[in-house]
A and B are shown apart, each in its own frame.
Chain A
Amino acid sequence: MDATPSPTENGPVATLVRSKLDPGRPPDFAVERPRLHRRLDEAVRSQPLTLVTAPGGYGKSVLLRQWAATTEPVAWLTLDPRDRDPVRVARHLLGALEPVVPGVGAGARRGGPSPGLGDELVDRLLDHVGRAGRPVVLVLEDVDHIEATSALEQLARLVVEAPPDLHVVVACRADPDLPLARLRSAGRLGELRARDLTFTVDEVGAVITSLSGHSLAVDEADHLQQVTEGWPVAVQLAALSLRGEPDPSDLSRFGPGDRAIVDYLSAEVLARLRPDLRAFLLDVSVLEELRGDLCDAATGRTDSARLLEDLRQDDVFVVPVGSPGSYRLHRLVRELLRLDLLADAPERPALIRRRAAAWCVEHGDLGQAADHLVAAEAWDDLLPLLYDHSRTMWEQGEMESLLPWIEAIPLPIRREHPRLRLTEAAIHLLVGRPEATAAVIAAMEDGGGVTPGEQAVADFLVLGLVEDAPPRPEVLERGSRALALLDETPDEEVPRVIGGTDPLSLRAMIPVFSTKVRLLLGAEGTLDSARQGADMPIEAAPIFQVHGHGTLGLVEAVAHLPGAEASARRSIELAEHQLGVRSPAPATAEVALAIVHRERGELDLAVERLDAAIAHTTRWGRWPLAGLAVVERALVDLAAGRPDDALAHLARGSALTAVPPAPFVDDRHRAVELLARRALGTGDPETPAPTRPPVTAELALVRVGLAVADSDPGRARRLLDEWPTKIDPLGAFERALAEALVERAVGSVADARRRVEALLASTAPARLVGPYVLGGPAVTALLADLGAGRPSGHAAAVVAAVARAGGRRVDLADPLSAREVEVLQLLPTRMTNADIAAELFVSTNTVKTHLKHIYQKLGATDRDEAVRHARDLHLLD
């Protein structure tokens, strides 16, 4: 159910996209305005942001197109109402910049987790533009359409942090929500406003001559300028009205600043148009974008392309928008025409919209089709479109658009269609608004009359809320009920919601969601449930396989099982091959892999995975997993001997969301906090007694370990008796380690040793040292009993890991010689043995002998491991 970008490279959709990225030729009739070109040139030379802002009819579009044609190179993007979806804005922005900043879009589709115009993409743009080595001018037209969207917030960052070579020109009708006052006072804002864009007397004369062929006397031009106040659209309409009737005195009926002038003049000019052109203009005033084929379909004509061409050559009514044959109506004129059409033929706009929608569906532009149907209030046509194509819309990144379409449908109509309500609930779930999902489903269930198939989907969605919010135990029953309903009523129709709720998919995903519920609640049977979840039919969609294997990997990682890495990697590889990077689906596997890395002492690799997972999950509102990832990040800090950083990360995790932490995450949080505070000596948050019993074995182990370290075997034993769950594969390791600690504390040294030897045998093959860290400082003493003298090999690595987490150094049983330390210092450099020999003025064989001793003393089998252990022991930085 996550997104797979499926770019449409050709066809009308691509043409419409190209027309957004190409200013096209300025209209032939347009008068050059060199004074404004100079202002723009100067503004982009000295300021990062230039605002061109004025109401309709001030000639912003024409001016910028003329200027862009003389300025090289310019990246151009015309925004439209559908760009409220930041995914679209991001895609178009990269497309616009690519010709000017080659390589800026390369790999963006597979490079990062950004589902839209996020920080990451802005960083990338700033970086690429900064390195382009030449000025880059980015023109954003009609920014009003993205007012109050996250895309505009990110554009603000782009402008505020712009490198010296980036200049953004923003054209809009109302001042956008950018930090204008701040930029203005810092001298970083260039502005062209309505008063700058009005025509001067000379320009009025030039426009009249260009459009009507007549020359005005200076006083006539002066009068017209006063009457219109230089308002460009009024001057142009006046010029057109003068074509047939060259008497400028006719304009004397208007007073200065009379805004009705455009109403009268446009009516006059329209009345004098050829009847076919007039009828055509009235019809297409409904449409935002005009193309011959689309207009033919919408109006029922066959000559639209020719009419558009006639209008372009002749008049100010249509404005070319980039690719040949694409136009839009002059906005102000369009509004007036629409009012005319509505008065003449009230039913016609909806009819034209419905026909245009049908054309858009046929040509693959589903988003545009839905917009037309919403505008036409054609709900009966909209519903099947939403059902049939919601999956595709989702995959095309139209996610943010889906909800407004549904919410545009009046509530009584929505209530009559359970499938629509379920779709609405599913979208809320997918975009991380769990309370909205729950509310929609509750309303639907309260309404009654829910069929078994609908109930199964509703149960599935409620269970799926585990992705967004901590679960309650009751939801497990919903999962069982959904599976039972599917089994008991096999012939029942199951509504398809976003293409992902067929019986096969429900059967595949219910065990996966149930596994997460169990894990987050610390319930029993998690591993069995996870295995069942990953063992889904081969026909199940790739996205489900990604979830299934990722969840199994996470459970295996928590249980320190050897299969964890393979399961997690399988999930991540599937996601890379089958899904787009915008999908948050592999984040579960990322966290699983991070746990595996941390437990092997590969802390850098763990951080890398966790940072990716945190970015993915927070952006998509996957709070339980985000919470776990942040706590894991803190655990990495702790393992690296940085308990203060660990506490800082924990604080960050708590501040992440208002959603309360799931019990499993909260337990790990407490576990890390206890150990970090112990290492820092900043007081024990659980003195005198724990505030609540543990849900997970991890927290129980930490408490036992600290009691043993405090030489309080009585408390340790009591804590062991209050162990949270029965012995399950999850928590078995922690239970055994806790028992060993207690046994040693009460003097059963031989029992403790046997138990520890078994544990070491289980963790040695994968070289896991992480699981012991939660045992705390008491583990060191426990391992010291093994064999004569100090521990070596895997046991030594465990001791070092535990000591490092406690912020202490450990001395080697057999310290390195001075020469060996010198060799050790060179190991992280990737120098060859021969290089090292040359550096130290010894033979290669001598180096090999030193290496052999170093490996022995550090309990390492190769160079990488020696470096890692040496770092654990603080012998290397």
Chain B
Amino acid sequence: MPLHYEIVLRGPLGPRQARVVDDFEVVSTTPEATTIVGWVADQSSLQGTLRRLADVGLDLVALRELPGP
């Protein structure tokens, strides 16, 4: 059962940093934060995504699960 998540990251994303989450949709970008939403297969997949975001230097601001489609 895939999960729908919203992830808020600090600041805008660089083009390569954005590629880590290229299956997510960018819903807003401000100088302060970038908000993306997308589907992950399960918790392991979510944790992996968060780790890869940290690996390219991005800070997590908020994370929440969205209701299904």
Contact = CB atoms under 8 A, between A and B. Distances in A.
A288 B17 CA distance: 20
Contacts of A231: 57
Contact of A262 (B9, B14, B19, B54): B14
Interface string B12-38: 111111011000000000010000000
A340 B17 CA distance: 10
A55 B57 contact: yes
B55 A260 contact: no
Nearest to B58: A259
Interface in A48-63: 55-57
Contacts of B31: 255, 258
Nearest to A254: B11
A263 B9 CA distance: 15
B1 to A, nearest CB: 20
Nearest to B14: A263
Contacts of A342: 19
A342 B58 CA distance: 20
- Chain B contact residues (Cβ within 8 angstroms of A): what range? 10 to 19
A336 B54 contact: no
A173 interface: yes
Contacts of B13: 259-260, 263
B59 interface: yes
Interface string A619-655: 0000000000000000000000000000000000000
A279 interface: no
A339 B53 CA distance: 12
Interface string A395-415: 000000000000000000000
A813 to B, nearest CB: 76
Interface residues of A, number: 24
B54 A257 contact: no
Given A259-B17, A263-B17, A336 B56 contact: yes
A332 B55 contact: yes
Contacts of A336: 16-17, 56
B22 to A, nearest CB: 10
B10 interface: yes
Nearest to B19: A339
A56 B55 contact: yes
Interface in A320-376: 331-332, 335-336, 339-340, 342-343
Contact of B57 (A332, A339, A343): A332
Nearest to A265: B14
Contacts of A57: 57
B10 to A, nearest CB: 6
Identify which of B17, B52, B56 gathers the most chain A CB atoms within 10 Å of its CB.
Answer: B56
A328 to B, nearest CB: 14
Contacts of A55: 54, 57, 59
Nearest to A174: B54
B57 A264 contact: no
A264 B12 CA distance: 11
A267 B19 CA distance: 14
A233 B57 CA distance: 9
Contacts, number: 64
B56 A173 contact: no
A233 B58 CA distance: 13
B57 A267 contact: no
Contacts of B55: 56, 331-332, 335
Contacts of A259: 9-11, 13-14, 17, 57-59
A342 B22 CA distance: 13
A262 B59 CA distance: 13
A173 B57 CA distance: 11
Contacts of A331: 55
B11 A257 contact: yes
A260 B14 contact: yes
A56 B20 contact: no
B11 A335 contact: no
A258 B57 contact: no
B16 A263 contact: yes
B67 to A, nearest CB: 29
A774 B48 CA distance: 60
Nearest to A264: B14
Contacts of B20: 339
Nearest to B12: A260
B57 A56 contact: yes
Contact of A339 (B9, B10, B16, B54): B16
Contacts of B59: 55, 257, 259
Nearest to A258: B11
Given A56-B54, A233-B57, A332-B57, A343 B11 contact: no
A156 B54 CA distance: 26
- Ranked nearest first, the 7 interchain pairs of A and B with the lowest CB-CB distance are A263-B14, A260-B14, A258-B11, A335-B55, A339-B16, A255-B31, A259-B11
22 contacts: A55-B57, A55-B59, A56-B55, A231-B57, A255-B11, A255-B31, A258-B11, A258-B12, A259-B11, A259-B57, A259-B58, A260-B12, A260-B13, A261-B14, A262-B14, A262-B57, A263-B16, A263-B17, A331-B55, A332-B55, A335-B56, A336-B56
Interface of A: 55-57, 173, 231, 233, 255, 257-264, 267, 331-332, 335-336, 339-340, 342-343
Given A259-B13, A260-B17, A332-B57, 20 more contacts: A55-B59, A56-B54, A231-B57, A255-B11, A257-B11, A257-B59, A259-B9, A259-B11, A259-B17, A260-B13, A260-B14, A267-B16, A331-B55, A332-B55, A332-B56, A335-B55, A335-B56, A336-B16, A339-B19, A339-B20
